């Protein structure tokens, strides 16, 4: 297949001119944008672009389509709903100019989906977003917009083969009083996987995200919620498992802009066998954040002396009428608990596995479907090569 330039690629499936132009600018300037040491390994070599066929259909299930729900290829959506996409794609939650990875992502984006819930849509069944993108691509994107009073639960799960390095960026924009849950089971197979989930919340909106980082290779997970509207609430939950020299960096941030906003970050992880995990959590309360609540709790359990865990919670407060706190710990397996299990005949490895499960269970149990919970627990067991 012939290799295409960015603009040839974009035009080949009819992207609007503004998007083609934006991609070209992004491609021209990404080298000059900031790139942190942590981000550097997640830079990719530019992919060969070849023409893709775009499905222009609304792929939402019939009963949701009737309510006006749109689930569509991102490039098709750029033609069908140019204003919505132009205003939101990499503008509000993951600004494309912020760093080299973001700009490069926009320039070389080859697969994506647009999910739109009109105002007042209530989806009772969890919606699985897994098959809306092509997992074999390098730069993948989900843009989710929920209108006022919309309610839905989304699930996502990596599957199939992935390239050596890849990136998935997820943008979630919530209108007034929208209530969204997003459950993400990271099973990426790439050697360097970068994942971003950023969100913007309008008045009274709530967002719960749960991400299980159970993939076996190096991972950079960035997530930032902007609690913009009054009384919006964000709950950001991360569970991780680091084994076999794997390196994981988690950057989780909640920004309380609006009055009486409520943000909680909870991160729990296991590190063993020369793995290295870093939980960096950030609670930011801006000047307007009267009555804000900000809490972070990060706990890492290191199973042996070869592994490294680091947690650094940060609170930046510009307003004094707030409640804020953080708890952080990096600990070993509790010797008394281990002894108690051993004293019942349970061998060391299994005892550690039980304690590890027990440590992660409260977060895993929150996942809405049995299959996801089971997959995570199976992964934990399967990858648990601790003596």
Chain residues that interact with other proteins, rule: CB under 8 A? 335-337, 339-348, 350-351, 354-355, 357-362
Element (H, E) at 371: helix 370-383
DSSP β-bridge partners for residue 309: 277
**CB 329 to other proteins: min, Å:** 14
**CB 341 to other proteins: min, Å:** 7
Q: Residues 73, 54: contact at Cβ < 8 Å?
A: yes
Exposed, middle or buried, 139 (CB in 10 Å: 0-12/13-18/19+)?
Answer: buried
- Cα–Cα distance for residue pair 324/318, rounded to 1 Å: 12
**CB 387 to other proteins: min, Å:** 13
**CB 378 to other proteins: min, Å:** 16
49 DSSP assignment: B
| C-beta of 20 vs 355, nearer to other proteins | 355
| C-beta of 320 vs 345, nearer to other proteins | 345
| C-beta of 70 vs 360, nearer to other proteins | 360
Token pair in block for residue 209:
């995200």
Q: Residues 259, 232: contact at Cβ < 8 Å?
A: no
**CB 380 to other proteins: min, Å:** 12
| Residue 314 neighbours by CB distance under 10 Å | 12
**CB 118 to other proteins: min, Å:** 41
Q: What is the largest CA-CA distance in the chain?
A: 70
**CB 381 to other proteins: min, Å:** 13
**Dihedral sign for Cα atoms in the order 81, 85, 87, 88:** positive
- Cα–Cα distance for residue pair 80/85, rounded to 1 Å: 9
**CB 127 to other proteins: min, Å:** 30
Q: Phi/psi zone of residue 357: left (φ > 0), alpha (ψ -120 to 50 degrees), beta?
A: alpha
| C-beta of 287 vs 345, nearer to other proteins | 345
| C-beta of 133 vs 351, nearer to other proteins | 351
| C-beta of 133 vs 364, nearer to other proteins | 364
- Cα–Cα distance for residue pair 387/380, rounded to 1 Å: 14
| C-beta of 48 vs 374, nearer to other proteins | 374
- Cα–Cα distance for residue pair 53/7, rounded to 1 Å: 16
| C-beta of 61 vs 358, nearer to other proteins | 358
Which segments within 37-148 are labelled E, that is strand?
70-73, 111-117, 127-128, 139-146
């Amino acid at each position: 297949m012939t290799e295409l330039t960015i603009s040839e690629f974009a035009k080949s499936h009819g992207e609007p001119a503004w998007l083609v132009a934006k991609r070209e600018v992004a491609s021209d300037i990404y080298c000059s944008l900031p790139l942190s040491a942590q981000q550097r390994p997640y830079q990719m070599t530019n992919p060969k672009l070849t023409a893709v066929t775009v499905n222009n259909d609304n792929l939402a299930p019939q009963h949701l389509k009737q309510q006006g729900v749109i689930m569509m290829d991102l490039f098709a959506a750029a033609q069908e709903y140019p204003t919505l996409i132009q205003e939101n794609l990499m503008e509000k939650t993951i600004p494309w100019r912020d760093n080299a990875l973001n700009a490069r992502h926009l320039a070389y984006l080859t697969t994506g989906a647009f999910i739109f819930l009109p105002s007042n849509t209530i989806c009772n069944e969890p919606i699985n977003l897994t098959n809306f993108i092509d997992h074999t691509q390098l730069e993948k994107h989900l843009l989710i917009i929920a209108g006022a009073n919309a309610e839905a639960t989304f699930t996502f799960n990596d599957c199939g083969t992935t390239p050596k390095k890849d990136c998935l960026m997820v943008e979630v924009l919530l209108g007034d009083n929208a209530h969204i849950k997003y459950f993400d089971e990271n099973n990426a197979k790439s050697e360097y996987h970068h994942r971003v989930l950023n969100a913007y919340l309008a008045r009274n909106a709530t967002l719960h995200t749960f991400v299980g980082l159970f993939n076996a290779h190096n991972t950079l997970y960035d997530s930032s919620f902007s609690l913009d509207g009054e009384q919006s609430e964000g709950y950001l939950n991360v569970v991780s498992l680091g084994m076999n020299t794997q390196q994981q960096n988690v950057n989780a941030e909640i920004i309380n802009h609006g009055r009486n906003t409520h943000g909680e970050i909870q991160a729990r992880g296991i590190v063993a066998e020369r793995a290295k995990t870093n939980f960096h959590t950030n609670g930011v309360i801006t000047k307007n954040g009267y009555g804000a609540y900000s809490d972070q709790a990060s706990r890492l359990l290191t199973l042996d002396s070869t592994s490294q865990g680091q947690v650094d919670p940060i609170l930046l407060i510009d307003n004094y009428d707030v409640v804020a706190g953080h708890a952080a710990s990096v600990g070993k397996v509790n010797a008394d608990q281990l002894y108690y299990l051993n004293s019942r005949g349970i061998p060391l490895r299994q005892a550690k596995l039980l304690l590890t499960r027990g440590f992660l269970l409260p977060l895993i149990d929150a996942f809405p479907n049995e299959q996801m919970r089971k997959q995570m627990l199976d992964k934990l067991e399967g990858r648990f090569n601790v003596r």
